[in-house]
Chain A
Amino acid sequence: MQTITENYDVAVVGAGHAGCEAALACARLGLRTIMFTVSADSIALMPCNPNIGGSSKGHLVREIDALGGQMGKSIDRTFIQSKMLNKSKGPAVHSLRAQADKNAYTLEMRRVVENQDNLTIRQQEVAGIITDSDIRQDEDLRNRLINTEYSNDSENIYDAGENKDLFTKITTESTKNVDNLPRITGIRTVSGAVYFVRSVILCTGVYLKARCIYGDVSNPTGPNGLMAANRLSSSLSEHGIGLVRFKTGTPARIDGRTIDFSKCAIQAGDDPVVPFSFSTDPESVQIKQDPCWLTYTNEETHRVIRENIDRSPLYGGVIHATGPRYCPSIEDKVMKFPDKDRHQVFIEPEGRYTNEMYIDGMSSSMPEDVQFAMYRSVPGLEHAEIVRPAYAIEYDCLSPKQLKSTLEFKSIRGLFSGGQFNGSSGYEEAAAQGLIAGINAAAYCKNTEPLVLMRSESYIGVLIDDLVTKENFEPYRMMTSRAEYRLLLRQDNADLRLRRYGYSAGLVSEEDMQKCIRKQELIEKEIERVSHLNIGTGEETQRLLTALGSTPLESGATMAELIRRPELNYDSLSSIDPERPELPSDVREQVNIEIKYEGYIKRQKKQVEQFAKTESRKIPESIDYDDVPSLRIEARQKLKEFRPANIGQAGRIAGVSPADLSVLLVYLKKNRK
């Protein structure tokens, strides 16, 4: 049988939000990359909510952007409404959220990936992964590897000869790698084609053995009726990868013409709009925005649900997979919070070229007739026509403790994974992981240092660290409360925190890096200036303070001290600061925040120092926990299961006590010599 055999540097399995970021990162870093999808029409599809960002997720998008990822830029071009959430709260919890035109977003991302150099898109279901030990055991694979044609594209940083050498070595090597681990060598598709690669990134989202369910209906498809990927799971299992089954759900889409918006409260966007991306021109996002709408469920809605609860697959025992608690179906909300007499329902447009509206807050897996009854009980939806019914979706995903913080598998070299496949949920969480997996797959291929972001410097660090160190029983969603140093991890300073990592990885241009450095310098200079700027008790000062509702000065104060008063800020005091230089608004914002919250920021920085110390104590990958005496049994088991990369991470594993850490430290010290 003749089948295709090809050779790339990296194969990305899946073209959702994780897959796109991963593939773009690899391709932009000069690796010959191929991205597989079950449907080339559905690149960067948003099958659930029509927004990007939101509380803490907005932070993720900013961080992706700072690192040189794509999501922020694409949503800035395709949003139809934008809001900065929590503006009345502290700067650390301000979060940007945009309503996306779903179709436009998908098309925009498709345009970007399709035009990316070094990136090939292929509509094909990936059926299995191939490791070097598979090749040694399979003569056909061996022959194919030896006879593979290597592209001689001189643009590439790797010449074909190097790949050929590597692969030839694999076939002839009688022993395994130095670290004794199998190495990823390729993938095979359902058509029998084999792609030899150095690295594979799994971004399969919710497509593995997906099943969509509502009422008695159970369709073996991915979201939106797209083809599920039913073969890869067993290949992963054969390679010793443990999978679990999660579920999530989505509400119905309703024909906007059948909604009575006069019964709903209008929800408008912000003016002016703040862009997500640090490189987007703010002028370009001041567009005419579309409204969303707010209405509520009521007793009637809840009665309909309660009376039909036995017909819900969730409650009738048809669905066993674990669903997320933060995004409960409406039947969960009604059953678990019986005291609440109403729940919020947001009606959000799916885009500008469709009448379909997304009914945010009412995801469900109830039978179709119950869905009609419950949606129509909501004010404004009395005559609603459902275009697409709500459904729950079940899928195979990874138990992410099998991953390192680099998102590489602990048990197979060169195999990475990102996105919902890793047990997370949300487009932003997926994109963030995809980007990191992409950067690290590239680092793996180039044999350079991988990128691991710490909890103390980014939400992405928190996200990945939580995934790899905690038992995860439901799809993981980012929340600001998960970030213990969130005062430092603001969406407004993501560039100052992370640009340099994107730059060293090779995804941020010299120009953008210089811009960031200049910004940092301006901020520091201005903070220094206002900290030493003495303001006397002059008449003009007292008048301004009184006008701003602040108490007049009894004696002199520094400008910084005045900025710290709750009712004042950097900008409101400009008239009594004639020497003040002309500064861009993002610089002024940083100066204001850094001065205003200096005390808190200092405290968190001190905590971070302590944190960084334990993080820097590495645990060798080869450690045998059975050889460590005096560990408590539970700790030993957990450590064997999670295999943390450092002492700090070990401490975050539930069941490992400070005494166990001490024991471990002593052991490490003993064995270092």
Chain B
Amino acid sequence: MNDTIAAIASGMTASGIGIIRISGPEAFHVLGKIFRTKKAADVEKMKSHTIHYGWITEEGGTSPVDECLVMVMRGPRTYTTEDTVEINCHGGPYVMRRILKLVLASGARSAEPGEFTKRAFLGGRIDLTEAEAVMDIIKARSDDALKSSLAQLSGSVRKIVTHVRSEIMDELAYIEAALDDPEHMDLTGYPEELDQRLDTICGEIGKLLRTFDEGKLIREGILTVILGKPNAGKSSLLNALTGVDRAIVTDIEGTTRDILEEQVELNGITLRVIDTAGIRNARDEIEQIGIGRAREYADRADLILAVFDAARPLDSNDREILSLIRDRKALILLNKSDLPQVLTEEDLTGSCGVPVIKISARELTGMDELAGTIRDMFFKGSLQMNEEAILTNVRHKTALDRTVKSLTYVRQSIQSGMPEDFYSIDLMDAYAALGEILGEDVGDDLVNTIFSKFCMGK
């Protein structure tokens, strides 16, 4: 029970500060690998219950990931009663995920749902009368975790994982069948074949893992473009989304000239929002450049938010935008719903088939519905995000890393001439790791596959 666990403790919303908590005997050691103070203090020698300023860096200490405050506490005077470290970093989900990733790569294990609370309880930190609440928390959190883990498993990732997993099982079953019935099945030449196939499998998983490292959805977010004729409310929308007054909002057409890019957190999804200069048949040269880039972005975008002014009738600019978003991944936002309505939903949706949401960027109404709709589109897959498989969940990534590690062990065993039965140990680990992504146990899969694929026994 006393391994070291870690998790984001502050929730995954874009708040000012994010907390990553590490608990267990290796907590200080893990931190030591990735935390640098100005004076290069030795983490393992830090006094208990002290706070330190410094940087989280990639292992090796070269490139800083984030500046942060770190609290180090030795057990038993901690929540879990174990050695505990809390990293207070900037609250963006991307930064938090990245730091967690480093923590996990440095020897901690991703905490099970409710595990900190469980440890606190088992360590005698929580009153016995609270036991039932603890049990409820564990159950509720694990239900949530499973749901969200599975929800974040896109169809295409699932397909790849399922496929690779069943391939690994086939190899396992083949080896085990041959070991069980050596007079029947011969493994001559098999190791070389297996090595080849594992090379392919590792390649497939590697490709998937790169989508995490380079992944649009995590680092860049969903590339979202806000389109709309001048003064339809694009900048107000951006402000509403970010909660910060970034773009200059005026009533004068064409005020927004530069393309603003902003990272926005919407119910755990990162949007990388591009606010464009208004689409307008402008003669102004500077504006021309801005509009040209807006169209360019619209072509590349994962999601277009087209803003229309409900208080003004449809004009040629609006029609141009409607034609631009036809058959694209888009949402129509009917802005200024707080003013007298001139435009109706039917005017808009009829021509391009894109769903309409009524908002008031100024009054901040309709924002929940917008968030919900984007979230639904994302999770339910009604929106064709992108054909390629993209990995978004740290847990999934950790499991895939383990898979590759295990398969690499198998290949090492093959190359160093180990007997075939040694392959099974690591193949089984790889199989189990992939199962975690799908929420599936190993159970009796091996024995069942052996019997269904091979005619066993005398």
Contact = CB atoms under 8 A, between A and B. Distances in A.
Interface of A: 49, 55-56, 85-86, 88-90, 92-93, 294, 324-328, 333, 336-337, 340, 343-344, 346, 360-361, 470, 479-482, 484, 486-487, 566-567, 597, 600, 603-604, 613, 628-632, 654, 657-659, 662-663, 665-667, 669-670, 673
Interface stretch (B56-64, B236-244, B366-374, B442-450): B442-450
Contact of B421 (A92, A344, A361): A92
A488 to B, nearest CB: 11
Contact of B425 (A327, A487, A654): A487
Contacts of B172: 481
A344 B184 contact: yes
A337 B455 CA distance: 7
8 contacts: A93-B421, A325-B456, A481-B450, A487-B425, A629-B135, A658-B142, A669-B128, A670-B131
Interface stretch (B12-20, B77-85, B113-121, B218-226): B113-121
A85 B183 CA distance: 8
Interface residues of B, number: 49
A158 B247 CA distance: 94
A486 B176 CA distance: 12
Contact of A85 (B182, B419, B451): B182
A333 B441 CA distance: 29
Contacts of B184: 344
Interface of B: 1, 112-115, 118, 121-122, 128, 131-132, 134-136, 138-139, 141-143, 172, 176, 179-184, 187, 416-422, 424-425, 428, 441, 443-444, 446-447, 450-451, 455-458
A91 B128 CA distance: 50
Contact of A49 (B135, B417, B458): B458
Given A340-B455, A481-B450, A566-B417, A666 B118 contact: yes
Given A93-B421, A482-B447, A630 B455 contact: no
B112 A662 contact: yes
Contacts of B118: 662, 665-666
A359 B181 CA distance: 17
A325 B452 CA distance: 9
B179 A657 contact: no
Contacts of A486: 421
Contact of A346 (B182, B187, B455, B458): B458
Given A327-B456, A480-B176, A663-B139, 12 more contacts: A55-B180, A90-B418, A90-B422, A92-B421, A294-B183, A326-B180, A328-B457, A343-B455, A566-B417, A667-B135, A669-B131, A670-B128
A629 B137 CA distance: 11
Contact of B457 (A326, A337, A665): A326
Given A93-B179, A665-B122, A659 B421 contact: no
A350 B104 CA distance: 60
Contact of B447 (A337, A479, A654, A673): A479
A56 B180 CA distance: 8
A89 B421 contact: yes
B168 to A, nearest CB: 14
A666 B121 contact: yes
B170 to A, nearest CB: 14
A364 B141 CA distance: 53
Given A326-B451, A669-B122, A630 B457 contact: no
A208 B296 CA distance: 80
Contacts of A654: 441, 443
Contact of B122 (A294, A632, A666): A666
A333 B131 contact: no
Contacts of A86: 179, 182, 421
